[in-house]
Amino acid sequence: MEFEDAEPGTMRPGGRTARVRAAVLRAAGDAMAEGGFAHLDLADIARRAEVGKTTVYRRWGTVTSLVADLLLDMAEQSVPRSETGSLLGDLKANARLVQRTLTDPRQGALFKAMIAAAACDARTAEALHRFYDIRVREWAPCVQQAVDRGELPEGTDAHEVIRAVSAPLYYHLLTTGDRLDEAAADQAAEAAAAAARAGAYLRDA
């Protein structure tokens, strides 16, 4: 189906625009997961998405802009945080979500490609930093709730605790050939919770 050929008036403009964006971002993610950032090509992405090439060029202009929009969409579409009632429960839910994402064939390849692209391109790095900032903000309240419940010391930096859960999972992915399993996720959550309880993430520390 060619979105360009949709009969005028058959869809609300917002609906059509949103569907074109979804199709193009899906195609961009597929292409990036398969071949990395270096081989991305707007014409190829338009073809994969079955969207007119001019629509893609007019709307995104460059591969870098398209990848930045993909990262924004990934942040918007990401799973909301869990609330289990305990710090360890919440951090384990976060760690398992990260572990499932990084071990998913498409998502894992996509994140590796994003990190590689960000290492070479400043604008992609900015977009990737925004993605992680949005994700950290989504999960930080579970740490503040643990402070409020008295599970963690006052003055704990909630963002640092959330980053501490993801850090070993990404580090394993990038620096070892080991498969990331649920035990690694649980260990990451337990280590972050233990360090937080010991005051390692106090804002003044």
118 binds a copy of itself (CB under 8 A): yes
Stretch that binds a copy of itself, among 24-32, 54-62, 72-80, 128-136 (CB under 8 A): 128-136
- In sequence order, what E strands does the chain have? none
30 binds a copy of itself (CB under 8 A): no
174 binds a copy of itself (CB under 8 A): yes
Measured between alpha carbons, how far is residue 63 from residues 30, 31, 129 in Å? 14, 12, 18
Whichever of 81 and 163 has its CB closer to a copy of itself, that residue is 163
10 binds a copy of itself (CB under 8 A): no
Q: What does the alpha-carbon distance between residue 181 and residue 81 come to, in Å, rounded to a whole number?
A: 20
CA 44: distance to chain centroid? Answer: 24
Q: What does the alpha-carbon distance between residue 14 and residue 7 come to, in Å, rounded to a whole number?
A: 15
- Kindly state the DSSP code that residue 79 receives in the 8-state scheme: P
For the chain, first and last CA: distance in Å?
Answer: 57
Stretch that binds a copy of itself, among 44-52, 65-73, 76-84, 190-198 (CB under 8 A): 190-198
176 binds a copy of itself (CB under 8 A): yes
We find the least distance from the C-beta atom of residue 128 to a copy of itself, in angstroms, to be 7
Task: Select the residue interacting with a copy of itself from 87, 113, 142, 158 (CB under 8 A).
Answer: 113
